[in-house]
Amino acid sequence: MITQWSYILNFLAYMAVTIPILAVGIFVFTFTTPYKEFALIKDGAQTDDPKKMAAAKAAAHDLGGKIIGLAIVLASAVYHSVNLWDLVVWGLVGMVFQVIIFYLFEWVTPFKVVSEIPNGNVSVGIFASRLSIAAGLLMAALISY
């Protein structure tokens, strides 16, 4: 029974570190883009304007992909980390690289992602989402050394 409690305490300790990293990641993701994802999402839900609805979908896909990508990195970091500090380091690395990947995407595309998403280009939001998920998968694999 004592062994079971140590597993539960370990679970709680890792969750107490992982959830705040994910929350900080969401803040960082929304802070580093010139558009306000939550405002776009909210405005799209409270209107019949097709452009605002499309912008909400594009922003939700983009932000959702970043969150999933970071969660994948965090899951791998939890699995492979030797301690909580190791988890924090890999979580921060994953967060930073998600932002870098977004701006690399912005740089290499013939259009401006930061303009297309608030203008309701859902395809760009979906593509950015999938890119963030792919980046998260690759980073997760890289953690496993």
Domains of the chain, by residue range, sit at: 2-143
Q: Tell me which of 2-6, 38-42, 100-104 is least confident.
A: 2-6
pTM: 0.90
Mean pLDDT of 77-99: 92
pLDDT at 1 over 70: no
The whole-angstrom separation of Cα 43 and Cα 45 is 5
| pLDDT(17) > 70 | yes
**38 Cβ contact partners less than 8 Å away, ≥ 6 residues apart:** 30
Residues 6+ apart with CB under 8 A from 62: 33, 37, 117, 124, 125, 128, 129, 132
Q: What is the mean pLDDT of the chain?
A: 92
